[in-house]
Amino acid sequence: MDKAFITGITGQDGSYLADLLLAEGLEVHGLIRRKASASNWRINHLAGHERMHLVNGDLLDVSSLTRSLQEIRPKYVFNLAAQSFVPFSWEAPEATSSVTAIGVLNMLEAVRMVDKDIRFYQASSSEMFGKVRETPQQLTTPFYPRSPYGVSKVFGHWMTINYRESYDMFACSGILFNHESERRGLEFVTRKVTWAAANIKRGKMDSVSLGNLDAKRDWGYAPDYVDAMWRMLNQDEPQDYVIATGEQSSVQELCQAAFEAVDLNYEDHVKLDPRFLRPAEVNTLLGDISEAGKGLDWKPQTSFAQMITKMVEADLHRVDNNISWET
Ligand code: NAP
Ligand code: F7E
C-alpha cells in the first residue's frame, strides 16, 4: 500500500488532501506539532480511520522530519505546513521565514537524506507574483513578492527547483492561487465575510469591518486544488504548474455574493477599517491555467459563486445549530 506523509495536515488543504488520499486507498501520515490547546477540528472526522496516522514533530526540527520519514518510508511527501496568513508575516517576519522558507529546506533535506526517490510536493503561492509583472500570471512570470510571506514562498519555490536539478529528485512546486472552503480559517477574507453574512442574517452580528475592498483575487475551491496536487505527483516527470480558475473577483464582489446569498445588501453591513489595510498590498491576481489543462488534465470544478454559496450555507448551519466556527 502506498504511503503519503503530509505536513500541515491540520490546515485547510491538509485536511482535504487527507480525505482525497484515503479515498484513493493510500495510508496517510500527518505531521502535527504540539499545541497548548489542540482542537484539530478539520481532521476530527478522520480519527479512528485505520489508514490515518498522526506523527509528532515540527517543520522547524529537521530531526523530527528525518525520523518520521525513516519510520514511515512514504512514497509521497506533501509539504503544506506554513505560517500562511499574510498580515501576520509583517508582525512576525522572522518566525514566518523560519517555517515558510527554511521549513521547506528542512523537509527537502530530510527527503534527500532518507530516500531520494520520494515524490515531493511544495505548496507555492500566487503571493510570489505580488506586484504583478504581467496578466494573467504563468510559470514564466517574474516574481515580485510584497510581504515577508511572499518572499519566504519564493525561497521555498526556488529551493524545490534547486533540489530537483541538483539531486535529480522528483520535486514539484504548485503555484496555487487563493483557494477557500467551509474549512477556511476565519481570519481570511472569504470566510470572514461568509461567517459575518450568516451571523448578521440570524441577528447575531450587526456589521463586519474590512480593509481594501478593491483588491482582486482569482479564488478557487480547495477540494478542487488538492486534486491538482495529487495529479502533480503522479506525472511521469516532475513539472511545476500554476493552479487557478482563470477568473477574478474583487473583495467588494465577494461581499455582494455572500450577502446576496442571505438576501441582504452588503452596503448596509460592511464597514471600512484601516486596521485591515496592509503595509504593501497585492492589488490583483489572475492565473493562466492553460498548462494545467494540458499537462495534468485538470480544471476547476467549482465556480466562485457556487463556492461562496456553499460557504454561506455551511456557516448558516453552524449558526443555527450553535456550532463554533471551527467545527
Ligand atoms: P493553513 O490552513 O494555514 O494550514 C497551515 C498548516 O501548517 C497547519 O496545519 C499548521 O499547523 C501547519 N504548521 C504551521 N507551522 C508549522 C510548523 N512549524 N510545523 C508543522 N506544521 C506547521 O494553510 P492552508 O490554507 O491549508 O495552505 C496550505 C499550504 O498552501 C500553506 O503552505 C500555504 O502557505 C499554501 N498556500 C495556500 C493557499 C490558499 O489560498 N489556501 C494558496 C497558495 C498557497 P497548526 O494547526 O499546528 O497551526
Ligand atoms: O486576503 C483583502 C486583503 O487574507 C485577500 C493565503 O491563503 O492566499 C491567501 O492570502 C484580500 C487581500 O488572502 C480584509 O487586503 C480586505 O487583498 O483572504 P486574504 P491573501 O492575503 O490573498 C494566498 C494565495 C496565500 O498563499 C496565503 O497563504 O482581501 N482584505 N479586507 C482583507 N483580508 C483579510 N484577511 N481581512 C480583511 O478584513
Q: So where are the chain's domains? A: 3-179+219-243, 184-217+249-280+303-320
* 89 flagged as catalytic: no
pLDDT at 16 > cutoff 90: yes
Return d(Cα 40, Cα 91) in angstroms, integer.
25
Entry pTM: 0.98
Kindly state the percentage of the chain with pLDDT values over 70: 100
* 225 flagged as catalytic: no
Return d(Cα 127, Cα 282) in angstroms, integer.
8
Q: How far is the CA of 279 from the centre of ligand 2 (A)?
A: 13
Q: How far is the CA of 277 from the centre of ligand 2 (A)?
A: 10
Question: CB count, 10 Å around CB of 25?
Answer: 9
pLDDT at 35 > cutoff 90: no
Closest ligand to the CA of 38: 1
- 182 CB less than 6 Å from ligand 2? no
Q: φ, ψ for residue 284 (rounded to 5)? A: -150, 140
Q: So what's the pLDDT on residue 225?
A: 99
* 125 flagged as catalytic: yes
pLDDT at 142 > cutoff 80: yes
Q: How does pLDDT run across 55-113, given as a tens digit for each residue? A: 999 999 999 999 999 999 999 999 999 999 999 999 999 999 999 999 999 999 999 99
Residue nearest to ligand 2 atom 34, measured at CA: 189
> Best substitution site from 143, 154, 188 to test ligand 2's pocket, by max atoms within 8 Å of Cβ?
188
Q: How far is the CA of 281 from the centre of ligand 2 (A)?
A: 9
Q: So what's the pLDDT on residue 326?
A: 87
Query: Which three three-digit cell numbers place residue 200?
Result: 448578521
- Beta strands, E only, 33-169: 52-56, 76-79, 119-125
Q: How does pLDDT run across 255-296, given as a tens digit for each residue? A: 999 999 999 999 999 999 999 999 999 999 999 999 999 999
List for the chain the helix, strand, coil content (%; round to 5).
45, 15, 40
State the chain's mean pLDDT as an integer.
98
Segment 152-177 mean pLDDT = 98
pLDDT at 327 > cutoff 90: no
User: Given this chain, do its domains 3-179+219-243 and 184-217+249-280+303-320 carry the same CATH topology?
Assistant: no
Q: So what's the pLDDT on residue 39?
A: 84
Q: What CATH number labels 184-217+249-280+303-320?
A: 3.90.25.10
- 212 CB less than 6 Å from ligand 2? yes
Tell me which residue of 41, 24, 32 sits closest to 6, measured CA to CA. Answer: 32
Which CATH fold would you assign to the domain 3-179+219-243? Answer: Rossmann fold (3.40.50)
Cell 502506498 -> residue: 2
Q: How does pLDDT run across 267-277, given as a tens digit for each residue? A: 999 999 999 99
243 confidence band (pLDDT: 50, 70, 90): very high
